[in-house]
Amino acid sequence: MTAGRYVGQSVARREHRPLVTGHGRYVDDVTVAGMAHAAFVRSDVARGTITAIDVEDAQAVPGVFAVYLAADLNTVCGPIHSTLMGPNAPMPPMRALAEGDVRFVGEPVAVVVAESRAVAEDAAEMVVVEVAALPAVVDPVAALTDTENLVHPEKGTNVAQAMPDTGGPDVDAAFAGAAQVVTGRFAQSRGTNVPMEPRGLVASWEPGTGEFTAHVSSQNPHEYHAHFARVLGIDHHRVRVLTDQVGGGFGQKVFVSRDETCVAVAAKLLGRPVKWIEDRRENLIAANQARNEIVDLEVAVDDDGAMVAMKARHVEDVGAYAINSHASASGSMSNFITGPYRIGHLGFSSTSAYTNTVGRAAYRGPWLMETTAREQMVDRVARAIGMDPLEFRRRNTVTAAEFPFSMPGGVPIDRVSLTEVLDQAAEMMDYDGFRVRQAAALSEGRHLGLGISAYIEPSGIAFGALATEQANIRIDAAGKVRIMMGSGDHGQNTATTMRQLVAEYLGCDIDDVTYSQHDTTATPHGSGTAGSRTAVIFGGAAIGASKRLREKVAEIAAHLLEASPDDIEIVGSEAFVAGTPSRSVGFAEIAAAAYLAPDRLPPGVEPGLEAVHRYRPPSLFTLSNSCHMCTVEVDAATGMVTFDRYVVSEDCGPMINPTVVEGQIVGGVVQGIGTALYENMAYDPDGNPLASTFLDYVLPGAAEMPEIEIGHIESPSASEGGFKGVGEGGTIGAIACVANAVNDAIAPLGAHIDRLPMGPSEVLAAIDSAGGA
Amino acid sequence: MNEIPVTMTVNGEDRAATIEPRLTLADYLRSECGLTGTHLACEHGACGACTVLVDGAAQRSCLVFAVQAQGAEITTVEGLAEAPGEPTAVQRAFEDCYGLQCGFCTPGFVVSVTAFLRDNPEPDDREIREALSGNLCRCTGYGGIYAAVRQAAAELAEAQGGAS
């Protein structure tokens, strides 16, 4: 289906009204009677042994209820691990509070609970933590061979995970026979998700019933539910997790952090509700981060300018405590690093390093270093053989005639539009016209550049805990429709898109439908909004349940209208006999029969009007794809990069709601621009984070951003509805696109940058080292 | 800690309280007045999510102590419209143009843009971008927000033209 009554339309997003008028309800807006407030004492040393902790003065502050240390909390806290990774995930021993030593600046050492946040913070400042500092491990490459300074002494190594080289004789032979071999090293800056709403929760344990309730800011409420049951040692069915509005997450709120874990345990220990709302400094230094990766690439090219083989060596920094596992992106990296190109041979290896920094998180496109490195490398190879980068990509891109093409990483490329997005982006950009403009500008001493980036995105990954989702749809006794899902929407407009699907496939008026994801005791188990899985997997579930419920509605309507179910059409919450619109019955009357007058139902039909469907996509990977092109101008005197244009050609299959799709693309692109040009979570050699405010951690702002032009190609996936995920692709494509544009602009100066971000000082340094402008 | 009496008008209602001098206006509005539409995202004046009108001027309420607002007239996002839940032209434009996703930064943008368009009813594109640069959004990439300001400006100009 490409455009239906609701599907494919940019229908109004009704959930926005409370948000624009100030009536949204985020976790900090939740107040519970008797609620206390938590503040953390965090380590200001990256690595060292705790020699003493003095809490006496803090405990004496009026209004302080408790000061908890590891001895209080860790001893009663159950196992900390994610449902996705399971209890046997390779990871360092997880602990709620630092115990015996500290391993990164920001690590929680104590939690103070008091009558107000202000009092809790006052008291937290009085806790004295004495630490005998040790040399910090900060550089991930150096960490791998450091046997003296260990982030986790019990591990005996700083190597968190090593994925051995997948290369072999075929790869070596391809390189030996190559006309040319080009090498490159690419580094990405450490960045962090920065949801505008920081993390937070209100945790309540009822001593009377033994039940635990938490209001959370989460992308994945059922994961929080399971986690709290585990760490608190409470039966799963006595836990309840509630989410209302969630102010962004971008991966940071998929799994429960140790800070949230501490607050939940504190609430149980104290026997009264505890609220913790993270402040921005905590979010910047203590919430998980991402992106600090280095890739060495070698590409073998034949005489015709075809890339025949690739070798990739990947090093990633997973910090001290990566979220819930070693959190390596190496698996997805190895699958997708050859991207849309006809590269037949791949040798890939990856090593993860523990460092004394905050741990690695999922962050929008967690594996995207494959595109960041590859697409910069493709430009480098094109330049090395003297070919235009667009022409070089066209020659190397897998064509539809070759589908299914098996990537050397093992994933088949199928149902994508790799050449089409290249062509559409080039046309939208007026590629040839730009090259003329660029040459003219250069003759006037102005440096314009064009960047290209193409990728294939694995959306809706269908393995293990991520493989399925469920929709429960109920037509209530008044004929109104409620969808219940365990999604964890944090700004994606899932309420609107799921309402569109249900209205379309069930046949009701969209204004009759509401969407609930708020309460884990009422919604079916879900694995959250992450990995660009909502449209594909939740969407498939919504369609399946709608179809089931529609059959029952038609059966009851047929009975009431004395017609055959096959002749019933359902539109606008009204069922009628095809060709005879006057013979109709509305949802209200059908529901009244189903719930209140079972004698009116057809014989053998179960009373009630609810349907449940759990959906698993047919493919392990539902592939979407895209090509980004942007043009920039670099001021060689100041190093400033300004955008000229930014174009995206995207294939996500049929769009449920074009406005929502484009919103995801634009937002994603700007986050990628941030990684490319501005954001840098730097640490000094002693492991001190250098960006703890928005004055140091520079986010993209409205004044610098380009207007993003979007073109759509539509090739349906094999999933129900044909949808493909689009949540992460904008970010995945943007980073290399911008890097390539900057490098294209400064290439005439002999300059090149292969480390992000490309801020003004980095651009000037590159120009200076190349001999100046 | 010493507490100080303070009075101000919030969304047209007279308010009187005795509060600690260190309480920010943002915390006062949220915790004492129950007006949770004003959001705190950075608490150091960089993101603009907590923007409210103080005697008509857009200000970051995390950088103002409540006691400094003694005698002032405060308008929060909840007080922009004539009736609760009824949107203004600016708020409708944010809805129409997809000027929000998670919505957490939205109240600050709405208040900033409301003051901006009152002071500069016919802004050019450069002025709009500069006006938006004091507020951070992490979801939208600013495209929808930018479009919302243009729509609201056009609508307000038309309303003004029709009224005169």
Residues making up chain B, counted from first to last: 164
Residue A402, CA distances (Å) to A416, A611, B161 in order? 11, 41, 61
CA distance A610 to A608: 6
Chain B residue numbers touching A251 (CB-CB < 8 A)? none
CA distance A232 to A76: 8
Chain A nearest-CA residue for B38: A22
| Contacts of A588-593 spanning 24+ positions with Cβ under 8 A | A588/A478, A588/A479, A589/A479, A589/A560, A590/A475, A590/A479, A590/A553, A590/A556, A590/A557, A590/A560, A591/A475, A591/A476, A591/A477, A591/A478, A591/A479, A592/A477, A592/A479, A593/A556, A593/A560
DSSP annotation of A199 reads: -
CA distance A573 to A568: 12
CA distance A48 to A50: 7
Question: By the CB < 8 Å criterion, does A250 face chain B?
Answer: yes
- Residue-level pLDDT at A621: 94
Looking only at the bridges linking them, the beta strands covering B13-19 and A469-475 are: unpaired
- Residue-level pLDDT at A276: 98
Looking only at the bridges linking them, the beta strands covering A48-54 and A101-102 are: antiparallel
Chain A residue numbers touching B19 (CB-CB < 8 A)? none
- Residue-level pLDDT at A259: 97
Contact (CB<8Å) B133/A693: no
Apex A567 CA angle, A562 and A570, nearest 5: 100
How many C-beta atoms surround the C-beta of residue B43 within 10 A? 20
- In a mutagenesis test of the B interface, which of A13, A14, A21 is the best target, namely the one with the most B β-carbons within 10 Å? A21
- Residue-level pLDDT at A772: 56
Interface contacts A/B by beta carbons within 8 Å: 169
Radius of gyration of chain A (CA): 28
- Among left, alpha and beta (phi > 0; psi -120 to 50; other), residue A563 is beta
CA distance A398 to A340: 6
Question: By the CB < 8 Å criterion, does B76 face chain A?
Answer: yes
Measured torsion, CA atoms of residues A152, A153, A157, A162, in degrees rounded to the nearest 10: -30
CA distance A490 to A249: 7
Residue A731, CA distances (Å) to A606, A669, A737 in order? 48, 5, 10
φ and ψ at residue A222, rounded to 5 degrees: -70, -25
Chain B residue numbers touching A491 (CB-CB < 8 A)? 101-103, 139
Question: By the CB < 8 Å criterion, does A61 face chain B?
Answer: no
Q: Which residue has the tokens 């190879």?
A: A381
CA distance A678 to A191: 10
SS3 string of A526-587?
CCCCCCCCHHHHHHHHHHHHHHHHHHHHHHHHHHHHCCCHHHEEEECCEEEECCEEEEEEEH
CA distance B78 to A19: 10
Residues A539 and A497: beta-carbon distance below 8 Å? yes
Residue among A627, A726, A738, A747 nearest A679 (CA) = A738
Look at residue A334 and give its three-state secondary structure.
helix
pLDDT less than 70: residues of chain B: 1, 162-164
Chain B nearest-CA residue for A27: B36
- Residue-level pLDDT at A1: 45
pLDDT in tens, A64-104: 999 999 999 999 999 999 888 888 888 888 899 999 999 99
Helices (H), A653-728: 658-673
Residues A468 and A616: beta-carbon distance below 8 Å? yes
- In a mutagenesis test of the B interface, which of A11, A16, A726 is the best target, namely the one with the most B β-carbons within 10 Å? A16
Measured torsion, CA atoms of residues A93, A96, A100, A103, in degrees rounded to the nearest 10: 70
Residue among A615, A617, A339, A343 nearest A473 (CA) = A615
pLDDT in tens, B90-115: 999 999 999 999 999 999 999 999 99
Residues A323 and A359: beta-carbon distance below 8 Å? yes
Residue A90, CA distances (Å) to A65, A86, A331, B101 in order? 37, 10, 14, 36
Q: Is A485 exposed, middle or buried (0-12, 13-18, 19+ CB in 10 A)?
A: buried
Measured torsion, CA atoms of residues A368, A369, A371, A373, in degrees rounded to the nearest 10: 170
Tokens of B35: 């007006």
- CA A220, A226, A227, A229 dihedral sign is positive
- A354-385 CB burial, b ≥16 within 10 A, e <16: bbbbbbbbbbbbbbbbbbbbbbbbbbbbbbee
CA distance B157 to B164: 11
- Residue-level pLDDT at B158: 87
Contacts (Cβ under 8 Å, ≥6 apart) of B117: B90, B123, B149, B152, B153, B156
Chain A residue numbers touching B76 (CB-CB < 8 A)? 22
Contact (CB<8Å) B20/A663: no
Question: Which residues, listed in sequence order, are joined to residue B51 by a DSSP beta bridge?
Answer: B60
Residue A562, amino acid: E
Chain A residue numbers touching B145 (CB-CB < 8 A)? 702
Residue B57, CA distances (Å) to A499, B52, B61 in order? 40, 8, 11
CA distance A111 to A266: 8
Q: How many Å lie between the alpha carbon of B67 and the closest alpha carbon of chain A?
A: 17
pTM of the model: 0.97
Residue among A649, A752, A138, A652 nearest A423 (CA) = A649
Residues B108 and B138: beta-carbon distance below 8 Å? no
Q: What is the mean pLDDT of chain A?
A: 96
Contacts (Cβ under 8 Å, ≥6 apart) of A126: A57, A58, A61
- Residue-level pLDDT at B164: 46
pLDDT less than 50: residues of chain A: 1-2, 773
Of chain B residues 105-164, which have a CB less than 8 A from chain A? 105-107, 110, 129-130, 132-133, 135-146
Assembly ipTM: 0.97
Tokens of B48: 């603009």
Chain B residue numbers touching A487 (CB-CB < 8 A)? none
Within A6-45, strands assigned E span: 36-42
- Residue-level pLDDT at A3: 65
Q: How many Å lie between the alpha carbon of A615 and the closest alpha carbon of chain B?
A: 26
Tokens of A645: 């244009």
